[in-house]
Amino acid sequence: MHQHLQLTLPPETALDEADFQQYVIRQLHLNNAESLTIRKVKQSIDARSRQVKVNVSVDIYADEAPPSLISYQKKYPDVSQKPTVIIVGCGPAGMFAALRLVELGYKPILLERGKDVRARRRDLAAINKDHIVNPESNYCFGEGGAGTYSDGKLYTRSNKRGDVRRILEILVAHGATEQILYDAHPHIGTNKLPQIVADLRQSVLNAGGEVHFDTKVTDFIFNSTHQSAIDNHPSEIKGVATADGREFTGLGVILATGHSARDIFELCQEKGVFIENKSFAVGVRIEHSQSLIDSLQYHCTDRGHYLPAASYGLVTQTHYNGIQRGVFSFCMCPGGFIVPAATAPGELVVNGMSPSRRDSRFANSGMVVSIEEADLKPFKKFGALAGLELQKSIEQKACAITGGKQTAPAQRVLDFVKRKVSSKLLETSYQPGLQSLDLREYLPEHISEPLRQGLQDFGKKMSGYVSNEAQLIGAESRTSSPVRIPRDRDTAEHLQTKRLYPCGEGAGYAGGIMSAALDGTFVVEQLVKRYGR
């Protein structure tokens, strides 16, 4: 017998597995619990009213074997002698592209400028404790990319990108909890992601693929018939050269370098590979106590043992100098930490992450302002790299005003709104430390003023959100790539350079772990369709 139930339950019943199982058994009036399999299909928290509820979809199987929880199997062909494809970047897009190539019978050669996930930890400790930024190994560069040391959010706003369930099943097959298959807003957590990333790499290696760490791409190799895209003639790429003097060639090159690989954007411009400006946003991280966010979202003083750390999403429109600008929260990390995410000395960038239990005392979120075309005029001479140069200027100024280290400029929220320097700052999760400053010292007015307006609006939407019990920490400037490497909508091939497949966040086609993984899968399928043997 198979039954499907839709239930709305209090958190203490829905989120305690033993109680939940007993509740379902009682609902069905069944005595023989040993013959039952009770499996959650979907779970979401509804906190819109003062009484928080949990909506659960559940499948019940009695006296029959349930279908396998995941259909995905780690059975890969030996591709060691198969045609090769070069993948630049070992983040979610690159790793899932490599796995898809293996599944389709092709040999991926994955090139990563940074270190493997375990060795990378030493460089993260150095930036946190000693303010030392390794430009090749940091929170953005290294195995797993920026996603490895993040909240590990696994939801995407669009199912049109590809098979979301398949990506989740691959993650479960490599060690992720089965809960990600039914949570409405699944996440893995920064403490669990490194092992999953290492297991994904091992699957690629076991199948005969190659993964090269500390291997920085410094040049493109074109066929001899290559002509610059400036002359409006399509070119053809056949491989890449690396800093250690090696060359790697294959059927095609997948660029999956992430949004912070600025040298790749510069290389594209230098070699005549067409790139263009892309919209992005810049601002700060806002940090509250998690208990405050819980009270605002769950309408209670204590969320108890069952409810997870509460999250939020905020968006508004502001007007400044006749230009409408979006102000919005970004990458909200409940029960998380703020971390230094610079990729070069002399920069200051912050980002957020959470462990799987989301049990930090702090909640943080990006709070950012959209960058408009008018903002890029002072950087017009840089062409398609104008947005990148705007990013750099903000990050370098933020670093300089606190002494050139990773100490971050900070200001209490209400003080910022009232244009006052904070006499004292709050405790923080940001390990390198804070310095009280007026954030307008490094944020241009076209960012700081809309940000101030946006916070005032958010304070009306969430009473208590704007106060001096929260603080702003900056700069949050790597929300997405300021550059797009344009490609054909259907074939995913670069518009002018044949066999080049821009992919993921760095190319401007993804915005998180899931969308990047889906995009990596998509470009591989298009490459193989066109150039496969």
| pLDDT attached to residue 156 | 74
| pLDDT attached to residue 31 | 67
Q: Does domain 2-62 have CATH number 1.10.3470?
A: no
Class of domain 84-277+481-531: alpha beta
Q: Please determine, for residue 230, whether its predicted confidence score (pLDDT) is greater than 60.
A: no
Joined tokens for residue 192: 């669990």
Which conformational region is residue 288 in: left (phi greater than 0), alpha (psi within -120 to 50 degrees), or beta?
A: beta
| pLDDT attached to residue 533 | 82
Q: SS in 3 state form for 121-154?
A: HHHHHHHHHCCCCECCECCCCCCCHHHHCCCCEC
**pLDDT-based confidence at residue 1 (cuts at 50, 70, 90):** confident
Q: Please determine, for residue 150, whether its predicted confidence score (pLDDT) is greater than 90.
A: no
- Kindly list the domain boundaries of the chain, sorted by start residue: 2-62, 84-277+481-531, 281-375+391-476
Nearest Cα residue to 450 out of 323, 349, 280: 323
Cβ distance 489 to 495 under 8 Å? no
Cβ distance 454 to 446 under 8 Å? no
The fraction of the chain above a pLDDT of 90, given in percent, is 87
Higher pLDDT, 240 or 26: 240
Within 13 Å of residue 185, how many CA atoms lie on the same side as its CB?
A: 16
Cβ distance 91 to 147 under 8 Å? yes
Nearest Cα residue to 74 out of 175, 164, 194: 175
**pLDDT-based confidence at residue 62 (cuts at 50, 70, 90):** confident
Mean pLDDT value across residues 353-364: 94
Nearest Cα residue to 405 out of 85, 126, 8, 13: 126
* E strand or H helix at 284: strand 281-289
| pLDDT attached to residue 80 | 98
Mean pLDDT value across residues 415-439: 98
- Strand order of the sheet with strand 53-62? 2-9, 53-62, 36-46
| Residue 253, strand partner residues | 86, 500
26-44 residue pLDDT tens = 888 876 666 788 999 999 9
Average pLDDT, the chain: 94
436-477 residue pLDDT tens = 999 999 999 999 999 999 999 999 999 999 999 999 999 999
302-357 residue pLDDT tens = 898 899 999 999 999 999 999 999 999 999 999 999 999 999 999 999 999 999 99
**pLDDT-based confidence at residue 229 (cuts at 50, 70, 90):** very low
| Residue 277, strand partner residues | 483
**pLDDT-based confidence at residue 263 (cuts at 50, 70, 90):** very high
**pLDDT-based confidence at residue 158 (cuts at 50, 70, 90):** low
Gyration radius from the chain CA atoms: 24
Q: Please determine, for residue 225, whether its predicted confidence score (pLDDT) is greater than 90.
A: no
| pLDDT attached to residue 157 | 64
Q: Please determine, for residue 283, whether its predicted confidence score (pLDDT) is greater than 50.
A: yes
pTM: 0.94
Measured in whole angstroms, the distance separating CA 3 from the mean position of its chain's CA atoms is 37
CA distance 146 to 89: 11
| pLDDT attached to residue 194 | 93
Residue with tokens 């704007």: 466
120-139 residue pLDDT tens = 999 999 999 999 999 999 99
| Residue 237, strand partner residues | 222
Q: How many of the other CB atoms lie within 10 Å of CB of 405? A: 17
Strands (E), 172-271: 210-212, 217-222, 235-242, 247-249, 253-255
